Structure 1
Amino acid sequence: MDFGFLKIAAATPGVKAGDCSHNIARIAGLIREADRQGVSVAAFPELCITGYTCGDLFGQPFLIEQAERALARLLADTASCRTVCIAGMPLAVDNRLYNTAVVFGSGIIFGVVPKTYLPNYDEFYEARWFASGAEPHRETVELCGQQVPFSTDLLFEDGKVCFGVEICEDLWVPHPPSSRLAVAGATLLVNLSASDEMVGKHAYLRSLIAQQSARTLSAYLYSSAGFGESSTDVVFAGNGLIAENGIFLNESERFSLEEQLTVAETDIERLLTLRRKTNTFASYGSGTLCKRIPVALRADREQFPVERGFNPSPFIPDDPQQMQQRCEEIFSIQVGGLAQRIRHTGTHSAVVGISGGLDSTLALLVAVRTFDKLGLPRRNILGVTMPGFGTTDRTHTNALRLMESLGVGIREISIREACAVHFRDIGMDDADRSVAYENAQARERTQILMDLANRTGGLVIGTGDLSELALGWATYNGDHMSMYGVNCGVPKTLVRHLVRWVAAHPDYEVARGWLLDIVDTPISPELLPADEKGEIVQKTEDLVGPYELHDFFLYHFVRFGCRPAKLHFMACRAFAGKYDAKTVKKWLTVFLRRFFSQQFKRSALPDGPKVGSVSLSPRGDWRMPSDASPAMWIREAESL
């Protein structure tokens, strides 16, 4: 399967202004290289067949004639290549000259798109030579002996792939033509450009491309003029930029003296899924009815397998500075949500169950920061540690010391005796270690927290995280329940980073040692007795699988609707060298089974703040029948 991936490229040939024969030779070489690499769509710069900087030479009929002859040779020279290309050239139509993008492949011209917005300010004088494509003109033109469509409203499509073309300045105006093309169905937007360099301009260009690809939920392929264009008054850097929904997939080297082919694989299926989910995109209307032109994009995926890499931790930014900003923002959202809930209820106290694990630690830190922000004493936060049959000395000590270092109220209430009485009441054998043995402890703890909250007039702060909600790794009406769940939008892989981030803050220096030890403690509900050395026996990831895998599945399944085969493929690529295909398949099947079977717990979730693009709140982001069948998904996973 190709899973919707499309290999595209921004090509930067070395040109000579006014030398069409030289230019098409360089273009042809890059087309052949793109074809060799399995590229489906390749974009070349604006007016690259003549060179952008020809100036008043554009008024010479000889140059226009030679440009068409050069294009004819280019079509013949690359007829055996399967890459669909877009290259710029001047084209005379009746009484006007147009700056155009020619779409061609396998010797066939599919269509010609004229530039809409002609810059005629500062160093630009395009209106001196060219007419705008927005002006009335004929709908077809004869080019290289072929009768082809000629319009600003052309879409080129092959199955699920649909692309549209705009030229340079078109992107810089308030309402770019690409916006109209995207609404009409283009998931790939192509821009042929000849944008010169100035201090600060490149950063602004990148922001335009990122924003346009994000706003239109598309891939944006940008190719700009480079070395060889005249430097009489300006310099061109040869920018090749490829973005997908606001994220850059690849960029060329700026100011290179060599030709470049900047290649990336965009996920068209992902973009279509996002568009279908985002109803405001669809409700914008179809815009202008564009003419759809069939093109044949290569389908030899077996020969050119997907090479795109995938971040194994999609919830965690790679850049340390961005990670710091992400942690601060998420923590602030959690604090803001809890602060509003406390003010709304008029309470001045909170109750948090503290286990010495990651989730309860983060919930306590959020509560502390919230009370500080509201000007309430930290002593009004009642931290409750409730040792059970599986509590180890390490987690018990960490829980107590953490609460002491943060200056909150502390209660220790053992649940062993209460659970023992309960086991006798329900006729359970002392040696029974079934799910009832575990869940009874979780429900006993929740009852204690709820009753303490009633006594103090406070709120029970929930500790369960997003990953646990996805897997249903919570006891129904036990730790599953609270009065406000501050961690419900935070995946497990991110909880660890948030706690470590807080630990590094100067305000929490006293608690730092305990926080860092909690970060290093194995994840466990501690509901089964410890071993003879007092160590944790019940390790969550041994039972349900690695959270880093489950968070990867969760992100791509919920946000982009990836099918099991695609999840498996992407995970194998992302975790190559760490998990083999068999292991990925095993835990993917577990994820799917649990995700479907545990929906009933998510359907009864307490309130809590959404912090990212993936959320499982039944009141917003994820609405699913509790008895939905996973059969189709499981069958595909098991067949891998």
Structure 2
Amino acid sequence: MGHFITLATCVLNQWALDFQGNYERILESIKQAKAAGARYRLGPELEITGYGCNDHFYEGDTYLHSWEVLAKLLVADVCQNMLIDVGMPVAHKNVKYNCRVIFLNKKVLLIRPKMFLANDGNYREMRWFASWQKYRTVEDFYLPRIISEVTGQHTIPFGDGVISARENRVLRGAFHAGQALDGVEIFTNSSGSHHEFRKLDTRIDLIRGATRKSGGIYLYANQQGCDGERVYYDGCGLIVMNGDILAQGTQFSLRDVEVVTATMDIEEVRSKRGDQPSRMTQASAAPAYPRIFADIALTYDAFKDGFDLPPTQTRAPFYHTPEEEIRYGPACWLWDYLRRSKSGGFFLPLSGGLDSCCTAIIVFSMCDLVCKAAKNGERHVIADARRVAGEPADSTYVPEDPKEFCGRIFHTCYMGTENSSKDTRARAKHLAEWIGSCHVDINMDSIVSAFLAVFQIATGKVPRYKVHGGTETENLALQNIQARSRMVLAYMFAQLLLWIRGRTGALLVLGSANVDETLRGYFTKYDCSSADVNPIGGISKIDLRKFVKYSKTNLGLEILQEFLDAMPTAELEPITKDYVQGDEVDMKMTYEELSIYGTLRKVAKCGPFGMFSKLIHQWRGIFSPTEIAQKVKLFFFYYSINRHKTTILPPSYHMSPYSPDDNRFDLRPFLYNSSWTWQFRRIDEGAAALNKLSEQKKE
């Protein structure tokens, strides 16, 4: 025993096509890893380009600039005497691959292409890359001139190989039992994995399980932040040995660079493997992987070299609660979007309802994270905060109080009409005061009246609300006039409020439509939900209510109890003694039911009949087969007639596994036969058969 090794895995906030910024962050991570005593550094997937380049991976420029960045890394002083593993796209024999490039002392040792591409959900890697299909095979790769001039090499190995250091410490990509049997001791997983509700525990279980049985060291690197997409890469670098966690990075952070290191005795891997005779028998017959020699000693002898880096102790995994995930994930995503879009802040139509309340709390949480990062001396956060707040370049301003910073960059507006209540107006005003946003209160009745006057002049008709004797068509049209007018007003205020305050630039408009209302289509196309970004667009109403309860306690916002007690309402119809508009009444289904429908439709991949079949068991004793049939048919009717609305959703933070986002995640048609003739008939037949069976049992 006593052969210690220090390894580093890095979490970087990269940005698609930001080659200069990506290079600087990679270099900084190498500096930090080296300072921590690491002799091997692993970075996230496609870190040179940024993961979310998408169709830019078709462009030759993307590959040219990647090689240019690699050339700069090869000659950098800090990159010498360290085994470095970076991610970039590479074209080999006119085929594009998602690759790892491993280099040491100005020599490229191996280019390892990805063998299993992510191609579901938010991922489309097979659109741009091919997977490497030649197992345990390497070929000659001809280096571009820009690299050959640095390394003096013309060809290097490309393919499914492993790196062997001087003492035969062997490194390989993501875990595979066959590689472990061939003696691979260190497994590396360079990832571009996004945040999704309660996903981290699954990720950690998979990583721990990979080495618990076969033994080994597992390094997990990931991106962190918004690199230009609807997803947030949630970092959380990990180092695991023999199933035990040694180091775990943060999941939500405003840092651009986080380096996670651990020191371990590699003999523990060999000891674990050596006491399994059956495993040794399998290993003796295992086919060998091509080995590429790295002229570096990754380990050191603790008795010879001293105990300057004692072994890292094991630790339990850390998980955020679901409420904390809502608080921190969208807040970090918004900060990246804000600072990288060069905008001057956010504008939010604050309705006094729970959804826009949640969006406001998330922005306040973002301000809180900025202040904490500034207190910790994060220079890039301070610099970005100064620019966003409209401070000059030579300013000494440092954000310290979230409420004060919120007042600089966050603008809210209550857009009332004659149908709005005093309660919602008061809630919006009080919440704005609590979080410190720059708040405006307006009345839109004159705008709505102007639209109706134009319509009356053109047609001679005046539409009426349902409570005043109007038809459903008139009633809906009158609601939509208000909703769409709010969108126009929101963008006007977003463009001019900074000007009013003597500042340049414009604000980003925030939307507040939750995932359930989007699934049902319960929103007006091009209303105030048609925003620049929507931080709660992937979160269910149920989870948002839990988040508000959490925020009331943990943020000390007592005003939030009023939002929890209030009935969800759009306030687009007149309030009378006998009638108050309610969201669940309008939708003809509850938010709890919508969450179930969404999960069955997307996660369980159910069509109408499949959903009916599952709900027959899930709702047994609660609803009759006929009632379940009616509920399923009603959901699919409204889902299908409103599916076209998902084509214009603003970029929304992806969090729910049943998100209906048509732009990337949920690739389904937007034009349906809303009668679902065959499917609904099959449901009715099934319900009738179950009812008949029930009657026979009673007899």
Structure number with bigger Rg: 1
Please tell me the TM-score bracket, short chain as reference: 0.3 to 0.5
